[in-house]
């Protein structure tokens, strides 16, 4: 009994195609491409600062400009799967960057890339190329089906009916064999959800939904175990059979995966060492004098053969010399052929058959997309509704975070409330009431600011990718984000504000309670808006939280309680005009004291002090009450405007930590 690889892995008897590509066949062609990258420009500015480098030193340093790709020629067409292999630093990532028109600070020296004969531009790429990134950026609390249906709503033309959308989602789930986990949460590192391979397939599904003709995947198998990786590549080859064009980069494929590829492009230090059918690779290298040993994986063997040993200068030079010879030899062999692929013998086999468009077995199952309706994507308002629903359903699933925030609010509220709890019916003294009022509005922002910044940064990468893909625009996202945060904000302030008011026995009139609550609500909202702006504006989590803290401390100090405003000099006094804590404090004081009379005991004397007098003495009536509300509204609107502008003009690239 001999066991072949297939029987070791075969698990799916179901090899049918559920969802094929029905557009015109595509051809992706790369001609004489040379590409230069600037390594120094790829390091973000804040990392350079962290290394204590001065700005004028940034663009210097050896090897900052290097040729990442040299004279590359490839032609792939629909129905084929091309694997780009090679050791790291070989130019795989650069190639995918160029194919997807990502600007990573390099420039094309010569040559061009064309899709169906047209030069590739970001617009063209957006329309027909789907890019699956190495890291999975998905909302963790949505199920697989929900994730896909939200994307279907955003990504499919408006002419689609609800039924057709559902059908499309089901087709994709079937095609990617995700049925058994369709109702499981996606999850992430911290949250248990579907397995790593399934998550990767959901990422592919997100791109597959809009039925692109070309799929480009960056290291799709990294981090997966052997069964899952094999399964994923089988899925990809099935997608290719469904008349799609698949390009993937892969570091070092295992031998079972290697056998699934149609075409292979082996790159080393930017030069082409081999390009042609996967099954011919061993034959090619044998013909030039490098046979693959019996117990050895050809992919491993030849990638090692061409990888650059950087342990010492001499070794590196030797390796570079070797790759140069190898690529020169390859170029000699293929330079006369039309498609620059190496063919064994007369060149009659696999390639020619696979480049024929494969028969559309299940064409009636595929939904035909009319080419003119393709442009009619959902508009702003619709995008907004979908995004809002997506955000709210993601947040409400996240019970743990909700509970933590609720507990935080309740803890602070009860602590402050009981601290100022009047013993034996004693009323709070004036001084204590003033402290309480300031504390009440200034303590919750400490927590809120940190939470908002952390949340925004965890969503940043997804936002960046989805905006890049053109799934939606900034405006609907902005409104969805701002509105989607409101329910949490309202319940947080209720949990926090109400018990304090009741425990500390503040002004008992119901309208005063409402006015007081509204002020606290607005002050906390200002800090939330400020955190949104700062986290959209600065690149890392650390910087955002630091800057946010500093900003909040400024407002805290200029709030009129810690330091009396009269004693501030010009600049900090200027800050006090935008200190939302100051307006909150003044408003709260006016709401509390106006109309009440306080009694103060000095020795045996009891003096009655009208509340109005206190307010005047402390000079917290410089702004009339209604103006406090208006100004607070204005400040939060200002922060939100800044947030909007930052979203619009600052690239939301995520680099979580450093």
Judged by CB under 8 A, the chain residues 257 through 296 that form the site for other proteins are 282, 290, 292-296
Q: C-beta of 419: minimal distance to other proteins in Å?
A: 5
Q: CA 600, CA 589: separation in Å to the nearest integer?
A: 18
Q: Which of 38, 429, 475, 512 binds other proteins (CB under 8 A)?
A: 429
Site size for other proteins (CB under 8 A): 81
Is residue 104 within 8 Å of residue 42, measured between CB atoms? Answer: yes
Q: In the bound complex, what is the minimum distance in angstroms from residue 296's beta carbon to other proteins?
A: 4
Contact 101, 75 (CB under 8 A): no
Near other proteins by CB under 8 A, which window of 54-62, 137-145, 203-211, 557-565?
557-565
Please count the residues of the chain: 658
Closest separation between CB of residue 88 and other proteins, Å? 6
Rounded to whole angstroms, the Cα distance separating 205 from 70 reads: 33
* Closer CB to other proteins, 385 or 439, in the complex: 439
Backbone angles phi, psi at 180, to 5 degrees: -70, -15
Residues 6 or more apart whose Cβ sits within 8 Å of residue 146: 393
Strand (E) or helix (H) holding 450: helix 444-468
Please, which of residues 577-616 interact with other proteins by CB under 8 A?
Answer: 600, 602, 607, 609
The residue range among 22-30, 36-44, 100-108, 441-449 that interacts with other proteins, by the rule CB under 8 A, is 441-449
The answer to whether the Cα torsion of 65, 70, 75, 79 is positive or negative is negative
- Residues in region 469-528 near other proteins by CB under 8 A: none
- By CB under 8 A, name the one of 395, 432, 505, 621 that touches other proteins: 432
- The 3-state DSSP class for residue 388 equals helix
A 10 A CB-CB count for 449 gives 24
Return the residues of window 6-25 that contact other proteins according to CB under 8 A: 8-9, 11
Q: How far is the CB of 483 from other proteins (least distance, A)?
A: 27
**Which residue, 56 or 295, is less far from other proteins as judged by CB?**
295
Span from 207-215, 234-242, 423-431, 527-535 in contact with other proteins (CB under 8 A)? 423-431
Q: Which range binds other proteins by CB under 8 A, 303-311, 361-369, 464-472, 532-540?
A: 303-311
Based on the shown chain and the rule CB under 8 A, indicate whether residue 227 belongs to the binding site for other proteins. yes
| Pairing state between β 263-268 and 245-250 | unpaired
Q: Rule CB under 8 A: is residue 134 a binding residue for other proteins? A: no
Closest CA to 471 of 212, 269, 655: 212
Query: Can you say whether residue 211 is alpha, beta or left, with left for phi > 0 and alpha for psi between -120 and 50 degrees?
Result: left
Shortest separation between residue 447's beta carbon and other proteins, angstroms: 7
Note whether 252 and 340 are within 8 A (CB).
Answer: no
Within 10 A of 462 (CB to CB), how many other CB atoms are there? 16
Q: How far is the CB of 618 from other proteins (least distance, A)?
A: 10
In whole angstroms, the minimum distance from the beta carbon of 200 to other proteins comes to 15
Residues 326-345 that bind other proteins (CB under 8 A): none
Q: Which is nearer to other proteins, 87 or 516 (CB)?
A: 87
Number of continuous H segments (helices) and E segments (strands) in the chain:
25, 12
């Amino acid at each position: 009994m001999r066991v072949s690889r297939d029987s070791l892995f075969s698990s799916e008897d179901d090899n049918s195609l559920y969802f094929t590509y029905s557009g015109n066949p595509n051809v992706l062609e790369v001609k004489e491409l040379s590409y230069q990258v600037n390594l120094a420009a790829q390091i973000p500015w804040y990392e350079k600062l962290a290394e204590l480098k001065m700005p004028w030193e940034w663009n210097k340093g050896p090897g900052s400009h290097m040729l990442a790709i040299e004279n590359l020629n490839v032609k792939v067409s629909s129905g084929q799967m091309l694997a780009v292999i090679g050791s790291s630093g070989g130019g795989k990532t650069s190639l995918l960057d160029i194919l997807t028109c990502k600007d990573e600070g390099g420039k094309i020296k010569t040559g061009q890339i064309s899709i169906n004969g047209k030069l590739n531009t970001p617009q063209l790429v957006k329309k027909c190329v789907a890019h699956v990134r190495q890291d999975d950026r998905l909302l963790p609390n949505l199920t697989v089906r929900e994730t896909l249906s939200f994307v279907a709503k955003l990504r499919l033309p408006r002419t689609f009916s609800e039924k057709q959308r559902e059908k499309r989602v089901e087709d994709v789930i079937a095609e990617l064999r995700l049925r058994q986990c369709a109702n499981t949460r996606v999850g992430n590192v911290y949250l248990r959800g579907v397995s790593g391979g399934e998550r990767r397939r959901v990422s592919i599904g997100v791109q597959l939904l809009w039925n692109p003709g070309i799929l480009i995947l960056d290291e799709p198998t990294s981090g997966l175990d052997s069964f899952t990786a094999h399964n994923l590549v089988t899925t990809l080859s099935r997608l290719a059979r469904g008349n799609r064009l698949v390009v993937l980069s892969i570091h070092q494929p295992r031998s079972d995966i290697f056998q699934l590829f149609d075409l292979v492009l082996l790159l080393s230090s930017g030069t082409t060492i081999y390009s042609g059918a996967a099954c011919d690779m061993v034959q090619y290298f044998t013909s030039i004098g490098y046979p693959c040993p019996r117990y050895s994986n050809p992919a491993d063997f030849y990638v090692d053969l061409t990888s650059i040993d950087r342990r010492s200068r001499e070794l590196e030079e030797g390796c570079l010399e070797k790759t140069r010879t190898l690529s020169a030899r390859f170029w000699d062999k293929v330079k006369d052929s039309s498609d620059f692929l190496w063919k064994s013998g007369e060149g009659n086999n696999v390639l020619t058959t696979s480049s024929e468009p494969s028969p559309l077995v299940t064409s009636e199952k595929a939904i035909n997309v009319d080419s003119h309706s393709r442009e009619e994507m959902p508009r702003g308002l619709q995008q907004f509704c979908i995004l809002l629903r997506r955000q709210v359903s993601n947040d409400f699933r996240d019970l743990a975070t909700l509970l933590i925030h609720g507990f935080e609010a309740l803890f602070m509220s009860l602590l402050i409330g009981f601290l100022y709890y009047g013993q034996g019916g004693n009323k709070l003294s004036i001084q204590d009431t003033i402290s309480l009022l300031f504390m009440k509005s200034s303590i919750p922002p400490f927590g809120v600011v940190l939470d908002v910044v952390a949340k925004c940064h965890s969503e940043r990468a997804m936002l960046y990718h989805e905006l890049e893909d053109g799934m939606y625009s900034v405006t609907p996202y902005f409104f969805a984000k701002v509105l989607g945060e409101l329910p949490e904000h309202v319940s947080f302030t209720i949990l926090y504000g109400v018990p304090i008011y009741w425990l500390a026995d503040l002004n008992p009139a119901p309208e005063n309670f409402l006015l007081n609550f509204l002020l606290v609500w607005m002050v906390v909202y200002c800090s939330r808006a400020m955190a949104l702006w700062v986290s959209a504006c600065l690149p890392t989590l650390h910087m955002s939280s630091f800057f946010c803290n500093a900003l909040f401390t400024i407002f805290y100090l200029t709030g009129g309680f810690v330091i009396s405003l009269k004693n501030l000099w010009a600049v900090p006094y200027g800050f006090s005009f935008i200190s939302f804590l100051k307006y909150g404090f003044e408003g709260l004081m006016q709401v509390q004291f106006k109309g009440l009379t306080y009694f103060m005991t000095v020795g045996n004397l009891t003096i009655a002090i009208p509340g109005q007098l206190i307010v005047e003495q402390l000079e917290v009536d410089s702004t009339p009450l209604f103006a406090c509300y208006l100004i607070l509204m204005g400040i939060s609107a200002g922060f939100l405007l800044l947030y909007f502008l930052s979203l619009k003009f600052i690239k939301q690239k995520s680099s979580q930590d450093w």
